[in-house]
Amino acid sequence: MPVVLAPRPARATASAARPAARPTSSVALAAALLGFAVITIDVTAVNIALPDIRASLHGGMAGLQWVVDAYTLMFAALMLSAGALADRAGARRAYAWGVGLFTLASLACAVAPGIGALVAARVAQGAGAAVVMPASLALIRQAYDDPRRRARAIALWTVGGSVSVAVGPVLGGVLTEAAGWRSVFLLNLPVGALILVLLARVAPSPRRPAPLDLGGQVTAVLALAGLAFAVIEGGHLGWTSAPVLAAFAVAVAAGCAFHAAEKRHAAPMVPLALLRQRQVGVALAVGFAVNAGFYGVTFLLGLYYQQLRGMSGVAAGLMFVPLAFLITATNLVSPRAAERFGRRRVIVLGQAILALAMFVLVPLGDRTPLWLVLVLLVPTGLGGAFAVPALTAQLMDSVPGERAGTASGLLNSLRQTGGAMSVALFGALLAGGGAGEGFSLPGMRTGLVVVGLTLCLTTAVSVWLLPRDRGDRAA
């Protein structure tokens, strides 16, 4: 139970303890919300700052891809074992570690003298964010014993993430225009300090033994990093160049080593038996494809608005606001639609809409009216936001209760990986489409078609392999 620090003796009674717990719970929720918001804003805000970063640090398209993917890949890979770390160290302590690392890494980003130093600092940021995500939810779970209040707190946490997606591009554009791209990272410093101050008022968290799978974690990072390097650099160095082929070989070897490590470990972070379950495999594939579509489009548009259309950072950020609010509204509608029509139909329809979104964006050009661009983005806002809540619920119901945390971490990890691989693919195609370091429309269109076809494939797999539920049959 949360406790209140330094209570007054005259009020230290059982009757006074109950109302006193509420402020402590609210403080824990505020700390959790701020942490989730800042790691979410960082993704979308940095996307808008990319052209300014390239002009300042003289990095090419590959450098910009690594600025995005260094963060996302570490976020994805370390999230697999971050939940076990939160259990082992206690939610409050792990959360403080994650926030502290993220804040210090943000300072390193802000003072980075070159693109290499910035990418290295982004790696550290991603590691901090991977700890913040599960620890923030564990902090809420600890602060609210009442299931109804906890459900409301988690709903508020979720909505806070959606609002952060909306705020991020605008905030990134305003800060970049007013004070340069470094201010995007400097903003994290006072927020991180405030979170740590709030955590001092939160009760210590219990710990429980949770084995860490270091072999699996290291090989997972190597596999993802090797694959990302191969895809990013393939568009610049050539797909048959020695470094690219070596990176592919590292990814394959690390993947095999990961499989062997998980097979031997007494408590693997990714139980292989879980992956063999049909519904789990489908959910992971869908999560990968959905994030590939959304984050690929977000990366594209940040460059499209500024490099091809010549828009300012603020104007480019404002162009994302209707999309973000559409996502928030659709997230709220999706659970009700799943209850009415069945999760399977909602998951399939959401993917189909997102696949359509990829294809309707193919004709975009440098003279497309901006109002039409916003109209064409409507399916992008609807598709993923419609599918993901039902997909998450479907996954949680398909695994035993003791595996829920592992399955959730695995889904979030694959979703982040999908976003990272999509950014790598789009960046390689943009750079290799005949525009040098500029914006290649043919490369953009090829990438949209590839991701659209991938979503068509996962849609078909969902129709074929996901079971019909009661709501599905009733509809």
**Which whole-number Å values give the CA distances from 389 to 31, 129, 211, 346, 350, in the listed order?**
24, 22, 30, 9, 10
Tens digits of pLDDT across the chain (475 residues): 333 333 333 333 333 334 334 457 888 889 989 998 999 888 888 989 999 998 899 878 888 889 988 998 888 888 877 777 777 778 888 899 999 999 999 999 999 999 999 999 999 999 999 888 888 877 887 788 777 787 778 777 877 777 787 788 889 888 998 899 999 999 999 999 999 999 988 877 777 666 778 888 889 889 988 988 888 888 778 888 999 999 999 999 999 999 999 888 887 888 888 888 888 899 999 999 999 998 889 889 988 998 889 898 889 888 988 888 888 888 888 888 888 888 899 999 999 999 999 999 999 998 999 999 999 999 998 998 888 888 888 887 777 765 666 777 788 888 888 988 898 888 888 876 544 456 788 889 999 999 999 999 999 999 998 887 654 544 4
pTM for the whole thing?
0.81
**Which whole-number Å values give the CA distances from 258 to 99, 220, 221, 282, 323, in the listed order?**
28, 6, 10, 21, 38
Q: Following DSSP, what letter does each residue of 327-371 receive, concatenated?
A: HHHHHHHHHHHHHHH-HHHHHHHHHHHHHHHHHHTTT--TTS-HH
Residue 358: which of 433, 446, 288, 239 has the closest Cα? 446
Helix (H, G, I), strand (E, B) or coil at 238: coil
Residue 427: which of 336, 257, 307 has the closest Cα? 307
Tokens of 185: 């990272």
Question: What letter does residue 306 receive in the DSSP assignment?
Answer: I
* Pair 409, 79: CB distance under 8 Å: yes
Alpha carbon distance 349, 383 (integer Å): 8
Determine the residue type at 376. Answer: L
Tokens of 434: 């005949």
For the CA atoms of 443, 447, 449, 455, the dihedral, rounded to the nearest 10 degrees, stands at: 180
Alpha carbon distance 70, 123 (integer Å): 5
Tokens of 359: 């294809």
Cβ partners under 8 Å of residue 187, min gap 6 = 171, 175
Alpha carbon distance 395, 417 (integer Å): 18
